Amino acid sequence: MRNVAAMLRRLLLAVAVLVIAVGAWFVWLLNAAGEFRTLTPHFDGTCTAVPIVGAEDLTIDQRTGIAYISSADRWALFAGKPPRGALYAYDLNAPSPQPVNLTPDADPTFSPHGVSLYVAPDGAATLFVINHAQGRHTIEVYDVDRMRLTHRTTLSDPSLLSPNDLVAVSPTQVYVTNDHRYPFGSKMRTVEEYLRRPWANVVMWDGHAFHEAARGIQLANGINHSADGKTIYVVSTIGRAVRVYDRDPASGALTFRREIPLASGGDNVEMDADGSLWIGSHPKLLTLVRYMSRGRPYAPSQILHVVAPDTAPEVREVYLDLGEQISGASVGAVRGKRLLIGAIADAKLLDCTMR
């Protein structure tokens, strides 16, 4: 009888320790995801809604003022239906700009994600687009003539495990973030996310083959480069930081330099004419997860402005909304006083004018 009682006490103690450990982990996770933050909406400017569904990424050609926008209906995709993705042009110079579908003949399964525009010294422009059509991961490459795209080629490789965003450094060279090491739906992907494991990486297409350029990243998301091409910025969503890498232009090799803390789950990153970073961000990551699973009607949206990222970085919050104006903002791109805000699944993007 004594042995049974002793075994029962040990069992109860083990259960208690387990419950405390799980509880502590859950509180830690909520805190790390920003769920305890108090959010105060603000924006010094005005915004107009533009009807483009799932404008997850976009970039502005600073020369022409034309924005190129990636769109896919992710609610339809999650319901097992074709996402009917498209690439749009949006001319900021127009008195009343309207989105123009540049891929009207695309297959209904076309599912564009991250985009990057490379403009050569002679003005020739190339648009690189991640595509998840029919569960495959490819990079579609287009020649750009203002409001027209001509498909040039498709890149694919087993190293494109879970591509999210990309940045081109030449007409034939591009860096790509894999946001996870394990495929969607796998148990290890869940472990990777909720234990915040640094298993994501960056791969590079050098014009001939893909190879790994950086590893050890907690959910590698947005990526961009400095004007001189010698610095690469990678947003770590779960790490809530921008990872800064020195780039060797000759070999393409990346060497980690430093992190810029964001205190938020950053997504895509864009550059302005001054070399500052603009980041669409998710201040409450678990709220975003519930929103994407239809468990919440809204998810907060945040736009961060990182001034002087290479010298003395200062992170400024330019826009914050609880999700009523736009939910789950994933990108902010700037030209002058204009700020375009895109979102993962919302039925619109915002065309804003900053004061």
Cα–Cα dist 114/163, whole Å: 8
pLDDT at 1: 62
In degrees, to the nearest 5, what angle opens at C-alpha 263 toward C-alphas 262 and 265?
A: 80
Q: Which helix (H) or strand (E) holds 230?
A: none
3-class SS string, 144-213: ECCCCEEEEEEECCCCCCCEEEEEEEECCEEEEEECCCCCCCCHHHHHHHHCCCCCEEEEEECCCCEEEE
pLDDT at 277: 98
Whether the CB-CB separation of 295 and 303 falls below 8 Å is answered with: no
pLDDT at 355: 95
pLDDT at 261: 97
Residues of the chain with pLDDT under 50: none
Output the pTM of the full model.
Answer: 0.93
Cα–Cα dist 46/180, whole Å: 36
Kindly state the greatest CA–CA separation across the chain. Answer: 88
Whether the CB-CB separation of 233 and 244 falls below 8 Å is answered with: yes
Q: Which helix (H) or strand (E) holds 56?
A: none
pLDDT at 2: 66
What pLDDT digit, counting tens, does each position of 219-231 carry? 999 999 999 999 9
Full DSSP string of 3-15: HHHHHHHHHHHHH
